[in-house]
């Protein structure tokens, strides 16, 4: 096997074809940039959860294949993985963008012995010391706890994804839940390049209150609190989620 050819959890060489799965809900303003950031030749699958702002049309114009699923990132990403044509999966949020080095980084990480997946260090778009501080803390958390979040573009092989049963279909921490499942098969390693994300999540409450809320929610999840309970408290506390429909809040997880 060539040294840069990734292998799945069973050690079977893969062809290296990448599918980028993007869950969307009213993401028309950002989805095009996310799609265009995918590696050249990648299979890009946008899974829409019922957008009303023309997201599907915008995604199709940008060159993605469109799938429809009930709203909720876990459900949508599982549907996208099922529809994927590649044997490597990269899960990208609609407000995030991969670097030009993404394909090589994914291949190199997955080629390491004992590695079944990885993630990209986060770089928050826009100036501001607090935003940069938040990104550093997020990357440290992913390294120390081995629990990357969805806005760090988790990737794995299709074989490993299927073996662990995909994302747990829960309203929050589905991304950390997938990471925990994958760790049963092997290691997760960070890529060398960053993934860029917007500031919307951090601007709803402000960088510091958002970080505090996120860590409190994570602590509750690690302590065994059911994700549905956490979600019922977490989303109303976000300024941007107050008064939003259950459909919108479910997708924010």
Say which residue the tokens 């459900």 belong to.
75
Q: Which domains does the chain have, with CATH numbers?
A: 18-199 (3.90.550.10)
Count of Cβ atoms closer than 10 Å to residue 61 Cβ? 12
Q: Report the candidate in 197, 108, 115, 220 with the shortest Cα–Cα distance to residue 150.
A: 197
Burial per residue of 87-98, b for 16 or more beta-carbon CB atoms within 10 angstroms, e otherwise: bbbbbbbbbbbb
According to DSSP, the β-strands at 18-24 and 88-91 are: parallel
Rounded Cα gap, residues 150 and 75, in angstroms: 14
* pLDDT, tens digit, 9 for 90 and up, residues 237-246: 874 544 444 4
Beta-sheet strand order (sheet of 96-97): 96-97, 195-197, 122-124
In this model, does residue 7 exceed pLDDT 70?
A: no
The mean-pLDDT minimum among 32-41, 124-133, 153-162, 173-182 falls in 124-133
Over pLDDT 90: what percentage of the chain? 75
* pLDDT, tens digit, 9 for 90 and up, residues 122-137: 998 766 788 888 888 8
* pLDDT, tens digit, 9 for 90 and up, residues 131-162: 888 888 899 999 999 999 999 999 999 999 99
Which residues make Cβ contacts (< 8 Å) with residue 41, sequence separation at least 6?
Answer: none
In this model, does residue 251 exceed pLDDT 70?
A: no
pTM over 0.85: yes
The per-residue pLDDT for 210 is 86
């Amino acid at each position: 096997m060539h040294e840069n050819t990734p292998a799945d959890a069973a050690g079977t060489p893969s062809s290296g074809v990448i599918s980028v799965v993007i869950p969307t809900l009213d993401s028309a303003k950002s989805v095009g940039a996310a799609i265009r950031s995918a590696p050249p030749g990648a299979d890009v699958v946008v899974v829409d959860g019922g957008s009303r702002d023309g997201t599907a049309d915008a995604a199709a114009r940008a060159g993605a294949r469109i799938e429809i699923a009930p709203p909720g990132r876990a459900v949508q990403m599982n549907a996208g993985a099922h529809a994927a044509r590649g044997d490597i999966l990269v899960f990208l949020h609609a407000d995030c963008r991969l670097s030009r080095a993404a394909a090589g980084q994914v291949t190199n990480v997955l080629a390491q012995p004992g590695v079944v997946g990885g993630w990209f260090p986060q770089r928050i778009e826009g100036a501001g010391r607090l935003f940069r501080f938040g990104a550093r803390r997020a990357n440290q958390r992913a390294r120390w706890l081995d629990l990357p979040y969805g806005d760090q573009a988790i990737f794995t092989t299709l074989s490993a994804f299927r073996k662990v049963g995909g994302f747990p279909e829960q309203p929050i921490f589905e991304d950390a839940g997938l990471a925990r499942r994958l760790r049963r098969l092997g290691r997760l390693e960070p890529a060398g390049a960053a993934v860029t994300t917007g500031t919307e999540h951090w601007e709803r409450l402000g960088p510091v209150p958002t970080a505090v809320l996120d860590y409190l929610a994570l602590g509750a999840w690690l302590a065994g609190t059911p994700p549905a309970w956490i979600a019922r408290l977490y989303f109303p506390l976000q300024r941007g989620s107050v008064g939003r429909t259950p459909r919108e809040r479910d997708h924010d997880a």
